[in-house]
Amino acid sequence: MEHQDEIYQSHAEGYDRLIQREDFRGNLLPALEAIVPLRGKIVVDLGTGTGRFPCLLAGIDAQVLGLDRSLAMLRVARAKLALLPQPAGRLAVGDNVALPVRSGLAEIVLAGWTFGHATVWSQARWRQEVAPALREAFRVLRTGGTAIVCETLGTGSPEPAPPTPALADYYRYLEQEWGFRRRVVATDYRFASVDEAVSTLRFFFGEEMGDLVRSNHWTVVPEWTGIWWRHA
Output the pLDDT for position 85: 85
Predicted confidence at residue 1, as pLDDT, reads: 45
pLDDT tens for 202-217 read: 999 999 999 999 999 9
The rounded radius of gyration (Å) of the Cα atoms in the chain is 17
Predicted pLDDT at 166: 96
pLDDT at 123 (0 to 100):
84
Q: Which residues contact 192 (CB under 8 A, 6 or more apart)?
A: 219
Model confidence over 30-58: pLDDT tens digits? 999 999 999 999 999 999 999 999 999 99
Supply the pLDDT for residue 2: 47
Name the CATH code of domain 2-189+222-231 (choices 1.20.120.1200, 3.40.50.150, 3.30.70.20, 3.40.640.10).
3.40.50.150
* Contacts for 135 with CB less than 8 Å, ≥ 6 apart: none
Segments making up each domain of the chain, as ranges: 2-189+222-231
Residues of the chain under the 70 pLDDT cut? 1-10
Q: In angstroms, rounded to a whole number, what is the distance separating the alpha carbons of residues 145 and 107?
A: 5
Q: What pTM did the predictor assign?
A: 0.94
pLDDT score, position 121: 87
Please say whether the beta carbons of 153 and 40 come within 8 A: no
Mean pLDDT, the chain, whole residue set: 94
- Please give the pLDDT value at position 89: 85
